[in-house]
Amino acid sequence: MSPAGIELGNCVTINRNSTISGQGGLKIGDNVMIASNCSILTSHHKFEKKDIPMMFQGENKKSIVIEDDVWLGVNVVVSPGVTIGRGAIVGANAVVTKNVEPYSIVGGVPARFIKNRFAENNK
């Protein structure tokens, strides 16, 4: 866990074995549930140069925003630069590479829209 650059809201639960980095900036809203073994990564290694080992090329850093009332299931990976909208659910084992709309349910690798949480939005 890299606490620098992390802003936590009220009533946030982060379960065991989760990895959270704040190098690129991370904002987690209120009432967020993060299940076990999640990885929230605000940076990735650079790999563009063939003549320099990847471990020496530095990092690309982008902030992540997890809005209020979000539930991340077990083993979820959130990639740099992503916003997860208010009230969203990310299913177990999903890899989130793009923004998640508010009150939607996503899952898979990469994570894709499954449905909205509320029936009036599923018409």
Whether residue 122 lies inside any domain: the answer is no
Whether residue 99 lies inside any domain: the answer is yes
45 a catalytic residue: yes
Whether residue 92 lies inside any domain: the answer is yes
CB of 33 closer than 8 Å to CB of 18 = no
Q: What is the CATH number of the domain that holds 110?
A: 2.160.10.10
Number of domains making up the chain: 1
Whether residue 66 lies inside any domain: the answer is yes
Whether residue 50 lies inside any domain: the answer is no
Q: Nearest CA to 30 among 86, 90, 96, 103?
A: 86
The one catalytic residue among 45, 49, 98, 115: 45
Q: In tens digits, what is the pLDDT along the chain, a chain of 123 residues?
A: 557 899 999 999 999 999 999 999 999 999 999 999 999 999 999 999 999 999 999 999 999 999 999 999 999 999 999 999 999 999 999 999 999 999 999 999 999 999 999 977 655
As a whole number of angstroms, the distance between CA 72 and CA 98 comes to 15
- The residues facing 20 across adjacent strands are 40
pTM: 0.91
As a whole number of angstroms, the distance between CA 120 and CA 123 comes to 6
